[in-house]
Structure 1
Amino acid sequence: MTTAPATTAFSHARGRRALRTRRGTRAGAGLGVAALAVVALAGCEKPTPLAQITVGDRTASTEAQCYEDGKDISNAELNACVEERAGASITVDAGDRVRIGVDPDIADTGWTLFVDGRPVVPRPSKHTYVTYSGDQFFNVQSPTGEPTQNDKAKVGIVEIDEDGNYKGAWSFDLKRKES
């Protein structure tokens, strides 16, 4: 007949010490992970509000090309941002509905829509969502006043307050789908 070894005070102490060591290692690892997370987050910039365009089941969204966390942006800076490459692009079929959505922070301030540098609406909107016919973006008047068709359009969303101060700019390239 075999008997189990007798438990001694020494074996109990060794078991408790091993348990404390494992707990201490886990606690230390947890503190290390938390410290790394704080360091990583400290190096991150706060993301800008988003704007998006949806056509059918396709969506393009982008952060601002210009945004100073609610501070005013000069005309020169705004023009430079608008001339930059668009933040996103999307294809539009003839007859598609184009849905434009902005972050509530943008809508609270107010925003206006530009197509190829020309304002679409006379005063800023406070809506987070508007819908247009896709054909509106491609039917343009030439300098002589003749209607022309374009295959692409640069759409700009500009956050603007009641005093006419610019706060941010987002841009998209809309491309007419080839038939």
Structure 2
Amino acid sequence: MTSQRSRRAAATLGAVSAGLLVLSACDKPTPMATVTFGTDSVSTEAECYETLSAEQAAKCAREKPSKSIDVPQGETLRIGVDPEIAETGWALWINGEPATDTFKKTYWAFQNADLFATQPGQTAQKSLTVSVVEQKKGSTQYKGVWNFKFENPDA
């Protein structure tokens, strides 16, 4: 009888320990960013979400995106961010470099976006990494980076 109680106690202790381990592995989800071209959309959580220096933000913006979307030439690019990102402010970066001023809206549209435009004699790029970077206007502090791979279906 004692060995049966010991086994039950050990099994209960093991189940509680496993449950606590699973709970400790859960992180609070980060705010979301979404990009849309035509009827296609992709959303993602942040690649990095903490207080970042300019160098850390640039390094994070060059990380391989987990989400990709085809970018037809001349379509409207729509960016949507959670309200907490808009409250701080955000900008678009392309291939790890700032590309726009800071926005403080949850939604922004870029009409006739031609991200793969080329000069005569150049070949079009096959893809770009476009990042939504949460940052205060004029600040060197960054809070989050959301990466997307934009693929050129015409290349």
Query: Does the alignment reach a TM-score above 0.5?
Result: yes
Superposed CA deviations along residues 110-165 of structure 1, whole A, max 9, x for unmatched, are 011112333222x31001111124543112679xxx98633322111111124331
Determine what percentage of the aligned residue pairs are the same residue.
Answer: 38
Could you say which residue in structure 1 is the equivalent of 2:40?
58
Residues 44, 128 of structure 1: CA spacing in aligned structure 2 closer, same or farther, 3 A cutoff?
Answer: same
Q: Is the 1:87–1:170 Cα contact (8 Å) retained in structure 2? A: no
Could you say which residue in structure 1 is the equivalent of 2:149?
173
> For 1:124-139, what aligned pairs fall within 5 Å after superposition?
124-133=102-111, 135-139=113-117
Distance 2:112 2:25 in 1: 41
Q: Is the 1:92–1:175 Cα contact (8 Å) retained in structure 2? A: yes
Gaps of 5+ in 1: 1-34
Gaps of 5+ in 2: 1-15
> For 1:1-179, what aligned pairs fall within 5 Å after superposition?
39=20, 41=23, 43-68=25-50, 72-121=51-100, 123-133=101-111, 135-139=113-117, 149-162=124-137, 163-178=139-154
Give TM-score scaled by structure 2 length.
0.74
Residues 141, 52 of structure 1: CA spacing in aligned structure 2 closer, same or farther, 3 A cutoff?
Answer: farther
Determine which structure has the larger helix proportion and give its number.
1
The one-letter amino acid paired with 2:43 is S
Residues 48, 94 of structure 1: CA spacing in aligned structure 2 closer, same or farther, 3 A cutoff?
Answer: same
Where relative contact order (Cα < 8 A, 6+ residues apart) is larger, the structure is 2
Distance 2:149 2:111 in 1: 16
Residues 110, 148 of structure 1: CA spacing in aligned structure 2 closer, same or farther, 3 A cutoff?
Answer: farther
1:92, distance to aligned residue in structure 2 (A): 1.5
Distance 1:49 1:151 in 2: 29
1:175, distance to aligned residue in structure 2 (A): 0.9
Alignment coverage as a number of residue pairs = 137
1:93, distance to aligned residue in structure 2 (A): 1.6
